[in-house]
Amino acid sequence: MATHHFQPTVYHTVIGAHEPVLHIKSGDTVITTTVDNAGRDATDQQVTPGGNPQTGPFFIENAEPGDTLAVHFDRIVPNRKIGRTATVVSPNVLEPHYVASQMPKGGGAEWEIDVEKWTATLISPDTQLGNLALPLEPMVGCFGVAPPRGQAISTATSSTHGGNMDYRGFAEGVTVYFPVFVPGALFHLGDGHAVQGDGEIVGTGIEISFDVQFTVNLIKKKGIGWPRAENDDYILAAGNARPLDQAVQHATTELIRWLEELGLEKKAAHILLGQCVEYDVGNVFDPAYTMICKVKKSILQNIGVWPPAS
């Protein structure tokens, strides 16, 4: 149950079987930092090329294909004052005829991050929004493990290994579960957002560098199909694909599998989800979209399948 302080010096814009930067054990905690989507660090200096550069990978001792890796985000805090966003809703999210004739000009916007007041305040450009202040909701946009089959997958996209899911629920306090595809799992993380609208529809959240603390746990000989997570209130599954309809299919099917693993017979799982399921939209900007399928833990407790028997 060691705590590791790790200062990254190298970053990756594909998630794959890179040389591990640190070997850790199940139960260990890592205190580290991430740069923003453009490769800028806590001092707002560009230290690596852009494209959601990832800190890591972290090698988890004893992790083997067929295991599951649990990552708990203990702490996620912006570590500089300036955050940036794009300003135009992406054309893939708008009606084609609107896109053909009505798109505004692009450009960047800057937001001042104040972790004391816990706000992000728009400081430029000068628009009718003035100095709009939004409460911080720090979240990790892109993180995951090395994908199967020797692949190395761009941090622009996502799949069964995680990746660029941009889900607002991947925030402090969440535990995320990944299938392990390679020895050591090789956990990567980056692309922090101080705030983000659902879907990341302008292609960015308020992009920021982070101080991050996370704790890993290994669940041996238990495979899962897609990233899963739990927070205080929900268990959830993520599906990453296009169209969003297919992301719905993956997320829903994975949550049913989870309910079955918790001991529900198939019929009960289907009836339950029918009236209790909730969906959240992750990314609808990237090559693969993300849909979240979730159900309240309180309902699972009522019917006696949560917490898990284990």
Residues 72-91 that bind a copy of itself (CB under 8 A): 85-91
Q: Which is nearer to a copy of itself, 8 or 53 (CB)?
A: 53
- Which residues from 180-219 bind a copy of itself, rule CB under 8 A? 195-199, 201-202, 204-206
Rounded to an integer, what distance in angstroms lies between the CA atom of residue 17 and that of residue 14? 9
Q: What is the CA radius of gyration of the chain?
A: 19
Rounded to an integer, what distance in angstroms lies between the CA atom of residue 76 and that of residue 141? 12
Per the CB < 8 A criterion, the answer to whether 205 and 85 are in contact is: yes
- Which residues from 158-187 bind a copy of itself, rule CB under 8 A? none
The answer to whether residue 121 forms part of the interface with a copy of itself (CB under 8 A) is: no
Rounded to an integer, what distance in angstroms lies between the CA atom of residue 75 and that of residue 31? 9
Q: Which is nearer to a copy of itself, 175 or 252 (CB)?
A: 252
Taking residues 41 to 70 in sequence order and writing x for each that binds a copy of itself by CB under 8 A, - otherwise, the string is ----------x-------------------
Closest distance of CB 245 from a copy of itself, Å: 5
Closest distance of CB 181 from a copy of itself, Å: 12
Selected range binding a copy of itself among 32-40, 69-77, 98-106, 176-184, rule: CB under 8 A: 98-106
| Closest-CA residue to 192 (of 168, 227, 175) | 168
Cβ of 299: how many Cβ atoms within 10 Å? 14
Which residue in the set 10, 23, 66, 103 belongs to the binding site for a copy of itself (CB under 8 A)?
A: 103
Which residue in the set 62, 266, 301, 308 belongs to the binding site for a copy of itself (CB under 8 A)?
A: 266
The answer to whether residue 278 forms part of the interface with a copy of itself (CB under 8 A) is: yes
Selected range binding a copy of itself among 2-10, 64-72, 171-179, 241-249, rule: CB under 8 A: 241-249
Closest distance of CB 138 from a copy of itself, Å: 13
The answer to whether residue 223 forms part of the interface with a copy of itself (CB under 8 A) is: no
Selected range binding a copy of itself among 1-9, 175-183, 214-222, 277-285, rule: CB under 8 A: 277-285
Which residue in the set 38, 70, 94, 115 belongs to the binding site for a copy of itself (CB under 8 A)?
A: 94
Closest distance of CB 180 from a copy of itself, Å: 18
Which residue in the set 3, 46, 303, 308 belongs to the binding site for a copy of itself (CB under 8 A)?
A: 303
DSSP, residue by residue, 266-285: HHHHHHHHHHH-EEEE--SS
Task: Calculate the alpha carbon distances from 74 to 7, 81, 142, 218, 220 in Å.
Answer: 17, 21, 17, 16, 22
270-276: list long-range contacts, CB under 8 Å, 24+ apart.
272/299, 272/303
Which residue in the set 31, 38, 77, 93 belongs to the binding site for a copy of itself (CB under 8 A)?
A: 93
Non-local CB neighbours of 224 within 8 Å, separated by 6+ positions:
68, 177, 178, 179, 254, 257, 258
Cα torsion angle, 163, 169, 172, 178, sign: negative
Rounded to an integer, what distance in angstroms lies between the CA atom of residue 196 and that of residue 8? 25
Selected range binding a copy of itself among 39-47, 73-81, 150-158, 230-238, rule: CB under 8 A: 150-158
Which residue in the set 33, 112, 268, 297 belongs to the binding site for a copy of itself (CB under 8 A)?
A: 268
Rounded to an integer, what distance in angstroms lies between the CA atom of residue 146 and that of residue 16? 4
